[in-house]
Amino acid sequence: MNSLDKKVSVYKNVFDNAGNVIDLRTFLLSDKYKNEVEQIRSEPDKTKRSELKKHIPAITISGIFEPIRADENLKEHSGLLCIDIDGQDNTHIKNFSNLKKQLSNLKEVLYCGLSVSGNGYFVIVPIAYPNKHREHFRAIKEDFMSYGIFIDNSCINVSRMRLYSYDSTPYINEKASMYNRLYIPPKSTYITYSNDATDNISTIVKKTAEYGICMTDSYSDWFNIGCALASELGESGRSHFHELSRMSNKYKPYETDKKYDSCLKTNRISIGTFFQIAADYGIRFKD
């Protein structure tokens, strides 16, 4: 069966968690809700846009869920994984409007189209081992980071909803190759200690990106890291906090900024806490 003809769960809106079944091609290529999408894209108020998006249909690209949508209720995996590329997370990409064309060069891309907001893209990739969904996602995330593209971490969830969107010129490759790389957790990595704490911090941040290590999934670790960086580096630690926070599937740029603003007002946590958290995640100083 062609990947676009796979059956997936479809929902009336974000409030519907029971859903029905539809083939992916019908949902992706329909223009039935084109007017609603254009209304969302033309709405300047962010709050109103968010409210409008709640009332359009959605699917779970990675499969069929019964009796209700939840990771643990996956009945049949579609063999597909969908990722989001948000413009606000990739402001460093100067030619973002041409990203779809660039992504068409990747042999594993089955589909790439505009998101419902029109400010990002969603990309569908066929995966070789559906039972390794999360490991595939982490590997794809690593690959895209190596291209300088940050993807939405929440796509790691197999039951992730994909809102209806409209793109008059989507990229489709029905002969896309299976993505077969799996994420392999790194072993402990050792770094050389420097007398300059700033150098040590930069090295740790670099290693988390290099090895795909997330130290910020836990709220307490996330908060303590932010406060430790703020205490040691002040405002210059903000970029490090974003880099570390981005490794989590909970990352939201605005909330990360707000949290760091709060951390700047707190001086109770020393940089030693940051080094200890890094050690807990396998990044240690050489003896």
Residues 18 and 130 grouped into a single domain:
yes
d(CA 135, CA 151): 15
Q: Is residue 287 part of a domain?
A: no
Q: Is residue 185 part of a domain?
A: no
Instruction: Locate the DSSP E strands across 39-119.
Output: 58-60, 63-65, 74-77, 80-86, 111-114
Give the global pTM: 0.71
Q: Is residue 113 part of a domain?
A: yes
Residues 153 and 209 grouped into a single domain:
no
Residues 49 and 131 grouped into a single domain:
yes
pLDDT at 136: 96
Q: Is residue 191 part of a domain?
A: no
Residues 55 and 107 grouped into a single domain:
yes
Query: Using the 8-state DSSP alphabet, how is residue 41 labeled?
Result: H
Q: Is residue 144 part of a domain?
A: yes
Residues 52 and 108 grouped into a single domain:
yes
Residues 133 and 219 grouped into a single domain:
no
Query: Which tokens in the block code for residue 164?
Result: 């209806």
Residue 43 CB partners (closer than 8 Å, separation 6+): 49, 52
Q: Is residue 77 part of a domain?
A: yes
Query: Which tokens in the block code for residue 248?
Result: 């989590």
Could you tell me which of 95, 108, 110, 81 has the C-alpha nearest to residue 4? 110
Which domain covers residue 138, as residue numbers? 7-172
Residue 90 CB partners (closer than 8 Å, separation 6+): 96, 149, 150
d(CA 190, CA 169): 48
Mean pLDDT by 10 residues, the chain (287 residues): 93 96 97 97 94 97 97 96 90 89 96 96 98 93 86 87 97 97 79 88 92 83 94 95 90 93 89 90 84
Query: Which tokens in the block code for residue 278?
Result: 């890094």
Q: Is residue 192 part of a domain?
A: no
Residues 215 and 147 grouped into a single domain:
no
pLDDT at 22: 98
Sheet holding 111-114, edge to edge: 80-86, 120-126, 111-114, 171-172
Residues 136 and 206 grouped into a single domain:
no
Query: Which tokens in the block code for residue 227?
Result: 């406060």
pLDDT at 150: 83
Burial of 198 (0-12, 13-18, 19+ CB in 10 A): middle
pLDDT at 258: 94
Q: How many domains does the chain have?
A: 2
Which of 137, 172, 207 delimits the end of a domain?
Answer: 172
212: left (phi over 0), alpha (psi -120 to 50) or beta: left
